[in-house]
Amino acid sequence: MAGPGLSVAQARAGPPARIVVETRASAPAPGGHRSSKSGGAEFAYLARLMAPTTRANSGRGAAARPLSPAEIERFHRDGFLGIPDFTTPADVLQVRQIVLDLYARFHRLPPRHVLDLGEVGRHAGPQQIPEINWALQLAPELKQTRTFARCAAVAEQLIGCPMGHTGYDHAIIKPPHNACATPWHQDRVFAGDAAPLVSIHFWIPTHDVSIEMGCMQFIPGSHRGPLLPHRRKDLRAHAKEAEGVDTSQAVACPLPIGGATVHHSRTLHYTGPNMTDAPRIAWSLEFAPRLRERMSWRSLLRFRG
Ligand SMILES: O=C(O)CCC(=O)C(=O)O
């Protein structure tokens, strides 16, 4: 077991965790439902969380705890780290409000931004795992949050050089009882050839998150292994699943509000179906060494002949 995570085998063994469903549960087929183009009716399960839009100070300026040497070592050994006190609850609530404002117009956003990570990638019916890609382009105010600043600072501490946002981020919701997991995968498989060699990826739930709700799970050390073959379960699906994963090694990272996980782009990870009555709402973003540093590294290689 690594870090503050919980070995899934241990969680299965009994209290306090309940049974973990690791295989992708069969879900009601999406589509065939009447489309709710406004997004309003479909996302009614979010209504309770919606607050009048506020841009209150979320504590961006407050001093943040640097990672300990043990945490940095654990990240490099395991390829992931759970950080329970990543940011403040007030800040995360601000992130959540911005994300919810985007979901309120989900079906009206440009198609390149929206996908269902469930069984069918693109359809107009109720979404199993609605995803908004490049949320930062749609809501640049996310960059003003303490969460964003913390990601940059923690990335620099972990990798040891100035780090910048790669330009990619996404918000992912698992509706209550969505009956659909995000399959085991390595993010690197989705990156094109131009992707940086090293990138690290943050996952920020906007509330307490448990195994039953679909917290992150990782295979420790998998970032040092090969990129596994991935396949789509169905031609209509967007999500890809890694083949040959030994899930007996999985470590789950339940977190309190304000917590986050960070993982290497090659680390195998998964989130289970949301088996609770509450929606699971997360924001995820990627950081890599800044281009300036990548360029100077290349020119150093050139001059070393
Ligand atoms: O939030 C999820 O369900 C999955 C997130 C994930 O796999 C990712 O951001 O790479």
Mean pLDDT, all residues of the chain: 84
Ligand 1 atom, smallest distance to 181 CA: 3
Provide the token pair at 159: 């990798």
Assessment of whether the complete model's pTM goes beyond 0.75:
yes
70 contacts: CB under 8 Å, gap ≥ 6:
none
Q: Is the CB of 182 under 6 A from ligand 1?
A: yes
pLDDT digits (tens, 9 = 90+) for 253-262: 999 999 999 9
Q: What is the Cα–Cα distance from 92 to 84, expressed in whole angstroms? A: 13
Q: Is the CB of 271 under 6 A from ligand 1?
A: yes
Domains of the chain and any CATH numbers: 6-13+39-51+65-186+199-225+241-303 (2.60.120.620)
Cα within 13 Å of Cα(115), Cβ side = 17
Q: Does 116 score more than 90 pLDDT?
A: yes
pLDDT digits (tens, 9 = 90+) for 131-189: 999 999 999 999 999 999 999 999 999 999 999 999 999 999 999 999 999 999 999 99
Smallest CA-to-CA distance from 197 within 291, 85, 102, 79 is with 291
Smallest CA-to-CA distance from 286 within 217, 221, 225, 203 is with 203
Ligand 1 atom, smallest distance to 117 CA: 3
Q: Does 7 score more than 60 pLDDT?
A: yes
Q: How confident is the model at residue 269 (pLDDT cuts 50, 70, 90)?
A: very high
Q: Between 23 and 111, where is the model more confident?
A: 111
**Mutational pocket test of ligand 1: of 284, 285, 287, the residue with most ligand atoms within 8 Å of the beta carbon:** 284
Q: How confident is the model at residue 52 (pLDDT cuts 50, 70, 90)?
A: low
Q: What is the Cα–Cα distance from 113 to 98, expressed in whole angstroms? A: 15
Q: Does 287 score more than 50 pLDDT?
A: yes
